[in-house]
Amino acid sequence: MSDFDSPDAESSRPVYKVYKRRFWGLAQLVLLNIVVSWDWLTFSSISTTAAEYFDVSESAINWMSTGYLFAFCAVSPFVIWTLNKGGPKPAIITTASLLLVGNWLRYAGTRANGGIFGLAMFGQILIGFAQPFCLCAPTRYSELWFSHQGRTSATAVASLANPLGAALGQLIDSEWASKPSDIPNMVLYISIISTVAALPSFFLPALPPTPPSASCITPQIPLRTATRQLLTTREFWQILIPFSVYVGFFNSVSSLLNQILSPHGFSETEAGIAGAILIVVGLVTAAILSPITDRYKHYLGSIRVLVPVVAITYIGLIFAPSSPAGIAPSYVVMALLGASSFALLPIVLEYLAEITYPLSPEIGSTICWTGGQLLGACFILIQDALKAGVGDEPPLNMRNALVFAAVVAVVAAPFPLTIGLFGRVVPRKRLDVDRGIVVQEGGEEAGPDGEVGKGKSDSDSPGSG
């Protein structure tokens, strides 16, 4: 059964509504995704300083990020079940609860006895458990509260808040912790911010009074059957593989960016700026492209343009840090990588929901995110192991690690590029269901969507790739 019973079941032309209150829940998802990502990279951007404070190696500090990613993978089956059975609100409350406990335990680990690394790590793992509940919720939330005219933008805003939190961490943490003794106060400030962001979660409405679109009231396929059906769909694997690879490398590059740049004479502050450029340029690009995608629905065409750009930028990252031009080439590569990756993310998530409908969207998105986090953890370990020795020139450089990233990124590129080729039709099923629906905003009628024809595949749309 769906979350709604249709209020217009006997009407030949039902009218669906969207409500302004949907933006409160969207804003809360944004806040939670910001703070969980900030928490994830708390120590990565200041890895040298944190290692000195806790009296451990930089590789041990890397485990603060790696363990966080493995925690995501461990809890992902519960995330799918929670979102599928209860919807976004229970997932949002779970996120908030784990954030509150994890942050204050982590603060205790930095403050007590001059720093207890194990306790700080335990708090970090709890926050890692929190992340998937909010990171995997946007596609489910946007389907539940938004019409087809705004779903991609809603998914983009909530999903891309996660890298925005990473950008804040890259910029702010290095300012708050310029020396080892600053670590406890930095974690205290982040804990306070996380607490303020988490509290409104407990007061959100669970469902809108009436559904926003026809696709929202279609009876759900049972979870086990839906998962089995998803895993036997060719296009799902063509999205899962590159999604996991590119999210994984974003995670590893974000975690190791300071160690990528520092052997070439760049400071933690410059590494923080590079990470911020990666994310801010990506957010701006996604903010421009997501509404365009909402309007024209050119999912597959956008994927075919953006995926090669992502792969090429990983090649550029091999040469940028060692460039005689200084830090500028690294900034340019980060900007290009951010623009292409962030523009691609919500488009892929919404396209996956479209082509796998009527399967509930959180199943595919959670599996994809879990693949990205799992590979991210593996990539961090692999790239850390590929770090050059102290006798190399420059010492401890990560050129081999960047070559590894470029090779894997290029190998993953053909998978999404071949969707819909060789005579295979890939319809956008959810858009077909929503075709011609009248949407009301606050009771005012909006015109029907006449741009999406029933039974069309993505490649049938004008201007599509």
Domain residue spans of the chain: 15-460
Cβ pair 47, 258 in contact under 8 A: yes
Please work out, in degrees rounded to the nearest 5, the angle formed at the alpha carbon of residue 65 by the alpha carbons of 348 and 126.
Answer: 95
How buried is 436 (Cβ within 10 angstroms: 0-12 exposed, 13-18 middle, 19+ buried)? exposed
Q: Give the DSSP per-residue string, 375-392.
A: HHHHHHHHHHHT---TTS
pLDDT, position 294: 77
Confidence of residue 462 (pLDDT cuts 50, 70, 90): very low
Q: Which residue has the tokens 């190998």?
A: 411
Tokens, residue 40: 């994830």
Best CA proximity match to 433, nearest among 143, 22, 58, 163? 143
pLDDT, position 2: 53
Tokens, residue 95: 């996120």
Which region among 105-119, 161-175, 320-334 has the lowest average model confidence (pLDDT)? Answer: 161-175
Taking only the tens place, the pLDDT of each residue in 264-310 is: 999 878 887 888 888 889 889 988 988 888 788 788 889 999 999 99
Tokens, residue 245: 């690879």
CATH label, 15-460, candidates 3.40.50.720, 1.20.1200.10, 3.40.50.300, 1.20.1250.20? 1.20.1250.20
For the cut 70, the answer to whether the pLDDT of residue 440 exceeds it is no
Tokens, residue 75: 């809890």
pLDDT, position 56: 87
Q: Which residue has the higher pLDDT, 68 or 418?
A: 418
For the cut 70, the answer to whether the pLDDT of residue 55 exceeds it is yes
pLDDT, position 14: 63
For the cut 80, the answer to whether the pLDDT of residue 253 exceeds it is yes
Distance of CA 59 to the CA centre of its chain: 25
pLDDT, position 438: 41
Which of the 8 DSSP states describes residue 267?
-
Dist CA 173 CA 186 (whole Å): 7
Q: Which residue has the higher pLDDT, 24 or 143?
A: 24
Residues, the chain: 465
Please state whether the predicted TM-score (pTM) of the whole model is above 0.75: yes
Dist CA 357 CA 335 (whole Å): 34
Taking residues 328-346, report their average pLDDT: 93
How many Å is the Cα radius of gyration of the chain? 22
Contacts of 342 (CB under 8 A, 6+ apart): 160, 163, 279, 282, 283, 285, 286
Confidence of residue 434 (pLDDT cuts 50, 70, 90): low
| DSSP reduced 3-state for 17 | strand
Taking residues 133-143, report their average pLDDT: 89
- Name the average pLDDT for the chain: 84
3-state SS of 275-327 is: HHHHHHHHHHHHHHHHHHHHHHCCHHHHHHHHHHHHHHHHHHHHHCCCCCCCC
Percent of the chain whose predicted confidence (pLDDT) is above 90: 39
pLDDT, position 7: 46
Taking residues 194-210, report their average pLDDT: 90
For the cut 60, the answer to whether the pLDDT of residue 6 exceeds it is no
